[in-house]
Amino acid sequence: MTTPALFTPLTLRGVTLKNRIAVSPMCQYSATDGVPNDWHFVHLGRFAIGGAGLVMVEATAVEAEGRITHGDLGLWNDEQQGRLARIAAFLKSQGAVPAIQIGHAGRKASTHRPFEGGHPITTENARPGESAWQTVAPSAIPFADGYHTPRALTVEEIHGLTAKFVDSAKRALAAGFEVLEIHGAHGYLLTEFLSPISNHRSDQYGGDFQGRTRFLLETVEAVRAVWPDDKPLFVRLSTVDGTPGGWSLEDSVVLAGELKARGVDVIDSSSGGLTPSMETANRPAPLYQTPYAEAVRRDAGIATMAVGLITQPQEAEAIIADGQADIVALGRAMLENPNWAQDAKAALDPEHIGDDAWPLATGYAVKSLKGFKAKRGLA
Ligand SMILES: Cc1cc2nc3c(=O)[nH]c(=O)nc-3n(C[C@H](O)[C@H](O)[C@H](O)COP(=O)(O)O)c2cc1C
């Protein structure tokens, strides 16, 4: 039997993923002052032990005001960088490529953690020491009724934020990350500039496609200039807003071409998030976003990462084998089973499980257990 496509390595610039399985960035809302702690170390570390080829740290804010909640990670100071470096080193020691997503929450900032209701913070509902802050966006249009009305950024402030993305990129490099992803999805700041629904500016950062994409493209150019040539740069896009008159898949294909020309290596193809009604579009369907990854890959000629209710090894295998995407990213399925990659390997390639798929310290013992279980006819 040949190696399953899901377990073939992928080289992007000077970085090789041992397989095509990525852990999608997932906010834990469990940091203090943006600093990761033991929770983040164990949470992320178990995915590397579990055999994923790439493990991406959650949306990490480039400035304090760019956090969704008070519990978000940040990467604007030395303490944050130092703690992230410990995580990156461990991921790498287990054979996973350490990746990090940097972003800014824009008008969706200043809310409670989802497991505390997720509502905007107000003076009435603020927890001790966790007051609300002024949110920012391309235009002073709230995400939804009851949400903070953001302040429209000045051109000078937009330039200042690009500089903050650059600073976080430099810190990510110093912390040992090998893949950097810019968060241009889910209705956060960069998406808000892209979509005509949230961007009503009349200056050079709004209006037509060129104006609305300027902030993202300038930020990508500036980040690429400090992110080394031998390290891949990903951009996560909401490939569709999901509403007439909004950002379309055709827009994403054109933008992906522009991003490729500026040195982006992979489009992480997500969708939605710009307004509450667009947050849940299509979500219940398995593989609901894979067609977007396929279209961007085919029409823009750039590598893509597919994400969204990919849960079955055979389905993930087909996505790679059929050329719909180059990498599959899993979110919730990894939370449910951090050993998803190990189990997929066993399911797709039972003759070649081998200790190599497991860390040295536990692989031989797991193998002996598998032997006992096999004798009893158990999986
Ligand atoms: C708990 C949780 C936190 C998430 N945080 C982020 C994030 O930090 N950045 C991001 O781009 N997407 C985030 N997402 C979206 C996931 O990365 C992923 O795209 C989405 O869950 C769909 O994949 P799935 O069906 O495999 O879970 C989050 C999802 C979950 C469930």
Ligand 1 pocket check for 83: Cβ under 6 Å: no
Ligand 1 pocket check for 257: Cβ under 6 Å: no
- pLDDT (0 to 100) of residue 378: 84
* Range 4-16 average pLDDT: 97
Say which residues have a Cβ less than 8 Å from residue 344's Cβ, sequence separation at least 6: 6, 21, 313, 316, 317
* Range 124-140 average pLDDT: 97
- pLDDT (0 to 100) of residue 379: 74
Ligand 1 pocket check for 333: Cβ under 6 Å: yes
Q: Ligand 1 centroid vs 136 CA: distance in angstroms?
A: 23
DSSP label of 121: P
Q: Distance between alpha carbon 287 and the CA centroid of its chain, in Å?
A: 17
* Averaged confidence pLDDT in the chain: 94
State which of 21, 24, 183, 237 you would mutate to test the pocket of ligand 1, scoring each by most atoms of that ligand within 8 A of its C-beta. 24
Ligand 1 pocket check for 330: Cβ under 6 Å: yes
Q: Ligand 1 centroid vs 355 CA: distance in angstroms?
A: 30
10-12 and 266-270 as β-strands: parallel, antiparallel, unpaired?
A: unpaired
Nearest-CA residue for ligand 1 atom 4 is: 26
Kindly indicate the confidence band of residue 348, based on its pLDDT and cuts at 50, 70 and 90.
very high
- pLDDT (0 to 100) of residue 276: 83
Q: Which is the closest atom of ligand 1 to the Cα of 333? A: 26
Distance between CA atoms of 30 and 99, rounded to whole angstroms?
Answer: 19
Ligand 1 pocket check for 54: Cβ under 6 Å: no
Ligand 1 pocket check for 309: Cβ under 6 Å: yes
Residue 101 pLDDT exceeds 90:
yes
- 334: helix, strand or coil: helix
Q: Ligand 1 centroid vs 27 CA: distance in angstroms?
A: 7
CATH architecture of the domain with residue range 5-348: Alpha-Beta Barrel (3.20)
Nearest-CA residue for ligand 1 atom 15 is: 26
Active-site option among 147, 188, 205, 292: 188
Q: Ligand 1 centroid vs 23 CA: distance in angstroms?
A: 9
Q: Which is the closest atom of ligand 1 to the Cα of 114? A: 1
147 as an active site residue: the answer is no
Least confident range of 198-202, 274-278, 313-317: 274-278
Ligand 1 pocket check for 290: Cβ under 6 Å: no
Residue 130, burial from CB neighbour count under 10 angstroms (0-12, 13-18, 19+) = middle
Note the pLDDT tens digit of each residue in 169-179. Answer: 999 999 999 99
| Token representation of residue 95 | 């054979």
- pLDDT (0 to 100) of residue 200: 98
Distance between CA atoms of 164 and 146, rounded to whole angstroms?
Answer: 29
Note the pLDDT tens digit of each residue in 292-322. Answer: 999 999 999 999 999 999 999 999 999 999 9
* Domain spans of the chain, in order of start: 5-348
**Any alpha helices (H) in 59-198, and if so which ranges?**
78-93, 155-174, 189-194
Residue 29 pLDDT exceeds 60:
yes
Ligand 1 pocket check for 316: Cβ under 6 Å: no
Residue 244 pLDDT exceeds 80:
no
Residue 195 pLDDT exceeds 90:
yes
Nearest-CA residue for ligand 1 atom 18 is: 331
